[in-house]
Structure 1
Amino acid sequence: MNDVYRNPVLNADWSDPDAIRVGGDFYLTASSFHRVPGLPILHSRDLVHWTIIGHALERQVPEADFRTPQRGGGVWAPAIRHHAGRYRIVYPDPDRGLFVTSAEDPAGEWTRPHLLKAGKGLIDPCPLWAEDGSAYLVHGWAKSRSGISNRLTVHRMNDDATALLDDGAVVIDGDALPGYRTLEGPKFYERDGWYWIFAPAGGVTNGWQSAFRSRDPFGPYEERIVLEQGDSDVNGPHQGAWVTTEDGSDWFLHFQDRGPFGRVVHLQPMRWGEDGWPVIGEDGTPVAHGPVPVPGGTATAPPEDFTNGIGLQWTWQANPEPHWARTGPDLRLACVDTGTEDLRHLPNLLGRHLPGDPSRTETTLRLDDAEPGARAGLAVVGDTYAWIGLARTYTGLELVHRTADGDIEHDAAPATPVDGDTIALGVEVDAGGRCQFLAGTPLRPVGPPFQATAGRWVGAAIGLFAHGKGSGAGVFGAVRLRPTTPCPTAPDAHG
């Protein structure tokens, strides 16, 4: 094994990461927004190689509200902790409140989410079980829902994280700090008699990471910026997790916003300075590489085919219905009419993260028993989208390639008749997110390149879909995703 890692260690959209260590195992969760299942659980032995092992949220709640895609809503930045033999995740739904779910085994079944605090605009919660037996919760505010922002609030909490014990108090007011804006994403810790709140500010794209400390969980807090871009090429480095290995070394996981590729995860060394403040990266600037924290880790790639069901790398855009999919080895997606042909609003679009490195995705597609008007394909979906696939017309089967950069979908290439019932499809994505769609045997370019764009707080997704009336289905073969250039980064959890 190479004992040097390179950033990002998770080169795809694992937004707002939080992580813990339990024994020799590290567990990470991330924002999932409207995607279902939500709250992914990743495992690592070395903080570099990560494998997705499950989801804590099998369906979004309330279930009826999430029958359709709630783009920009759903699960925002969560926090994962281990206390009294149970794993707990506290997560926000900015339109409903703060929820908690727990499990004895992070790869097993998690409890139905419990509403810990109701209200609009409550975001980014993090619990703390202090050494003296007391428990607390810190959270931020979303101005879009509450009219409040740039503030962090702390509550007392009961031991099993099922109730808050007071009305809460604002402990850090970003408006009172020169240059601060969008203070959010707090993580709560305790060390050597100090209470620490690690929190980002300045916005997703160009912000920074601050640390706050106090002798009392309710303050007053001192402040220091501990990580910012500096002369590195890592814009907006912030919002993540402080973890300590078994041998006592400290590390910080954070994200970098990369537009259509989403928020990728970096790993930074961390140490404590002589003045008691954390020093992250190279004197507060992100590093591009470093020694692997715990040598010997490996990652397991998710399956390419559907023999054992839909792999953990795939998520729906809304709570799924049982009839949407049958698995294989091929994946049979029912042609469902949801009242819209806009892929951004199809609940039954099945997606996976767009890799942050140049890549090529390939599959095969057959359109079975479809009525005229039915269609199925391979897509790249963000705030704009493009797809290539098959459409059934009154005269036969056609290969179509379409894009949408507003509310109207239009042809990106002329439709062409298809001989036979199965076609190979693909998409190549370059380092800037330009997508070249492919079709045929051998695969050949179809239409001009399409520029992928980010979605609502998420990166673009590679998607599979089928749409139409009747009993038809799009039948997809194994979905193979490969780097198209040598990849210097560590393997990531989506394959």
Structure 2
Amino acid sequence: MKHFLYFYIFLSISYGLQARSWTADNGNGTFTNPLFYDEFTDPDMIRVGTDFYMVASSMHAMPGLPLLRSKDLVNWEFVTYVFDKLDMGPEFHLEGKKGIYGNGIWAPAIRYHEGRFYVFVNVNDHGLQVFTAERPEGPWIHKNMGGRIYDLGVLFDDDGKIYAVHGYDEVHLIEIKSDFSGYVDGSDRIIIPKGSAMGEGHHFYKINGKYYIISADYSPVGRMQCARADRPEGPYETTVISHRETMGTQRGWWTNGYGFWSNIPDEGDKMEFQAPSENYFAAVPLHQGGIVDLPNGEWWGFSMMDMKSVGRLTYLSPVTWKDGWPYFGVEGNLGRSPRTWFKPDTGVDTEPKAVYERDDDFSSGRLKPVWQWNHIPVSDKWKITKGKLRLHTLPARSFMFAKNTLTQRAVGPESTVTVEVDARALKEGDVAGLALLNTPYYWIGVVRTDEGFILRFYDMVKNNRTDEPLSSPYVWLQAHGDFDKDLASMAYSTDGKEYKTLGEKLRLGYQMHTFQGVRYALFAYNMEEREGGYACFDNFKVDEPFADRSKNLPVGKVITLTNLANGEQVWANPHGMLHHVAPGNKAFGGLGCRFRVHDRGQGRVALESADGSGFVTVTGLGLSGDVRLMKQETDGSLFLWQDMLWGHTMLLSLKTNCYVGLNPLTGEPYAADWPGARPDRKEGTVFAWTVVDRMD
């Protein structure tokens, strides 16, 4: 009991300061994916000494190319944006019919060579850009190399040559000039032909004298491929190093008809959604990742996964080298990655922390790093003054054309944002408020009319406006997103206490127009094609009900486990086997279906039947991975508790490195030989757990 009390206190301290925002660190020597529950697309990562650095795509958001740093690969801190703004023409200022929605910064590659940091990234229609700096904090020097080298991997070879690999399916190799003025003439060649199952989003490495390319293959299903050769030009052999790993998550809704070259959607444009696909593994599993080494020689993998309307999230996986290939996963279960696993052994103890402070009362006089503008802002049309953000209205035909819209990535799996708006200085035709920036979009705000102020909610899917009278232009606006169900709602208050919802069950989706997940956005524009007044925003707050996960490991509790595949409880069979029992059976809910969860440190647990008949134990290896009840606890009794959220878990056997599960159609007993969860969580490995009693 004392041990459990200390553990509980430790968890409380570890999570105490960070419970307001998602962090992957569980505070007990383990982490739970994703690393961040807000979008960090197309990640690339390097190690420099004992520090790790990671960059990601930023599309049309300014400033761009976020650069993060870590000591343990789990807890990251914001360092800088590589550029404050990237101005390559009118479309970067949100002028014209397209802007750079879904374009801009795509899939960067970060490298460190001879004392300098390099970030390479394609900008559609503008070529390959290279940014260099002596320090990660900058200043960063920018060069435009031209060409169309997207989703590239870069390698500084030992002989001084600089290579880039690029292309989809048909993989090209090209040599970059040492002064980054362009490419070596005649160096572009095909090194892996079409039909080889290689994809895009390449990461290029030289390890122990061999050349490795890791890329994302989307056809026929999402997976990660690895190619290997003795020379940079090949010939290459390939294999699959990660596949079918969805972390038990189904694909979300998809917005049809809008790509990254589409015109900006306008009010009245038709919006259609595609429901989640029954093809569970199509383009959903971990993809577009790479690998990084630790000072102790270990290797770890990073990748991303489409996580519904919140966007593409970043995942961390242990890497196991076998036969010269870097497989994601652990021995006995290669190609699959744990959702919860032990933190990398970097030799540094780091406390759990989130990357960003999401709340902002604007009292610092500057925007916090979590904020990004939608395209390049008009610099003299916004400012922070007297502890408030002031946005001046500029002419725009509708919301997605509005300049000086300030955004934050939505954070999942669920969050609510609230902001105070003072709209007194708006002029006729002005509107200011809070939006869900996506395709489609929704917004709620204050409109100044010739008769005064009204509160308006706009639903783009229905092309419907809902107006409410306002007695005061000072309001609180609120948006709620459930990014697991792909649904949102919007509301307002005139006193900051009681809220009235004007939009319910708003369908969210992922799409390739913004090529991003939902963003919370503060906006102000004039609907009558002229400049107007301004609105002031204050006390932006983000609430994350899933941020504190310290109670998701029920150590010291007595629980039941119900298999999501058949709705039946796990049963400590009197014959010494772990089985299942259906509702209606007299054993259902009895002591034989209850288990004490014993803490064994570092997220490891042992499950003891509450009737005292023994410990759940993996007794066999090989084909069966038999799970039985044993009087004495052994190393086969250790399981790593997988935090699947929503009161769900999987039990990862530390003897087989596979999961406890069963086939609900065959009636076989449980075995620890299952590789992982299906996206719908109904193949037999995922359990709903419920606390029924406390330990004595």
Normalised TM-score (structure 1) = 0.89
Give the match for residue 123 of structure 1: 150
> How far has the Cα of 1:353 moved from its partner?
0.7
1:221 deviates by 0.5
Instruction: Tell me what 1:281 maps to.
Output: 329
Q: Displacement of 1:419 after TM fit?
A: 2.3
Aligned partner of 1:446 in structure 2 is 501
**One-letter amino acid of the structure 2 residue matched with residue 438 of structure 1:** A
Q: Does 1:258 align with 2:284?
A: no
What residue in structure 2 maps to residue 296 of structure 1? Answer: 350
- Structure 2 SS opposite 1:78: strand
Of 139, 156, 159, the match for 1:132: 159
Report the Cα distance in structure 2 between the residues aligned to 1:351 and 1:321, rounded to whole angstroms: 15
Once residues 308 and 46 of structure 1 are traced to their aligned partners in structure 2, the CA distance between those partners, rounded to angstroms, is 32
SS where residue 344 of structure 1 aligns?
Answer: helix
Measured against aligned partners, the alpha-carbon deviations of 1:257-284 in whole angstroms (never above 9, x if no partner) come to 02311100010001211x1111112410
- Indicate the residue corresponding to 1:57 in structure 2: 83
Tell me the equivalent position of 1:492. none
Q: Verify the 8 A CA contact 1:79 1:90 in the aligned structure 2.
A: yes
1:472 aligns with 2:533: yes
157, 176, 185: which one aligns with 2:195:
176
How many aligned residue pairs are there?
Answer: 466
Please give the alpha-carbon distance, in whole angstroms, between the structure 1 residues aligned to 2:43 and 2:365.
28
Select the residue among 444, 469, 472 that pairs with 1:420: 472
The normalised TM-score by structure 2 is: 0.64
Question: Relative contact order: is structure 1 or structure 2 higher (C-alpha 8 Å, sep ≥ 6)?
Answer: 1
1:356 pairs with 2:417: no
Matched, 1:410 2:468: no
Other-structure match for 2:61:
35
- Indicate the residue corresponding to 2:577 in structure 1: none
Correspondence for 2:371: 314
The structure with the larger Rg is 2
Aligned to 2:226: 211
In terms of mean alpha carbon deviation, does 459-468 or 312-321 score higher? 312-321
- Measure how far apart 1:421 and its partner are: 3.2
CA contact under 8 A between 2:430 and 2:532: conserved in structure 1? Answer: no
5 Å-filtered alignment, 1:128-167, equals 128-140=155-167, 149-167=168-186
Alignment check: 8 A CA contact 1:48 1:292 kept: yes
Give yes or no for contact 1:10–1:50 (8 Å, CA) kept in 2: no
Q: Secondary structure at the match of 2:61?
A: coil
Aligned-pair CA distance for 1:230: 5.0
Q: Which amino acid aligns with 2:485?
A: G
Q: Is the 8 A contact 1:44 1:299 kept in 2?
A: no
Check if 1:48 corresponds to 2:79: no
Q: Which runs of 5+ in 1 are unaligned?
A: 141-148, 490-495
Distance 1:421 1:358, change over 3 A: same
Task: Measure how far apart 1:315 and its partner are.
Answer: 1.5
Q: Secondary structure at the match of 1:188?
A: strand
Q: Which residue matches 1:191? A: 207
CA RMSD of aligned residues (A): 2.1
Q: SS of the counterpart of 1:319?
A: coil
Return closer, same or farther for 1:305/1:214 CA change in 2, 3 Å cut-off. same
5 Å-filtered alignment, 1:88-99, equals 88-99=118-129
- 1:3 maps to 2:29: yes
Shift of 1:453: 2.3
CA separation in 1, counterparts of 2:510 and 2:343? 31
Separation (CA, whole Å) in 1 of partners of 2:306 and 2:246? 17
By how many angstroms is 1:232 displaced? Answer: 4.5
| Structure 2 counterpart of 1:128, one-letter code | L
Q: Map 1:364-383 onto structure 2 (within 5 A).
A: 364-383=420-439
Q: Which moved more, 1:210-219 or 1:236-245?
A: 236-245
Whole-Å separation in 1 of the counterparts to 2:173 and 2:492:
55
Q: Is the contact between residue 394 and residue 402 of structure 2 (CA under 8 Å) also seen in structure 1?
A: no
1:337 aligns with 2:385: no
1:304-334 deviation line (CA, Å, top 9, x unaligned): 2322312221212211111231114211111
Deviations 1:353-392 (A, max 9, x none): 1112211111100113222111001110111011111111
Q: 2: distance between equivalents of 1:129 and 1:214? A: 16
Specify the SS of the correspondent of 1:449: strand
TM superposition shift of 1:243: 1.1
Match of 2:92 in 1: 66
1:206 CA displacement: 4.8
- Structure 2 contact 356–369 (Cα < 8 Å) conserved: no
Per the alignment, residue 324 of structure 1 pairs with 381
Q: Which runs of 5+ in 2 are unaligned?
A: 1-26, 250-283, 551-696
Classify 1:371/1:450 alpha carbon distance in 2 versus 1 (closer, same or farther; 3 Å). Answer: same
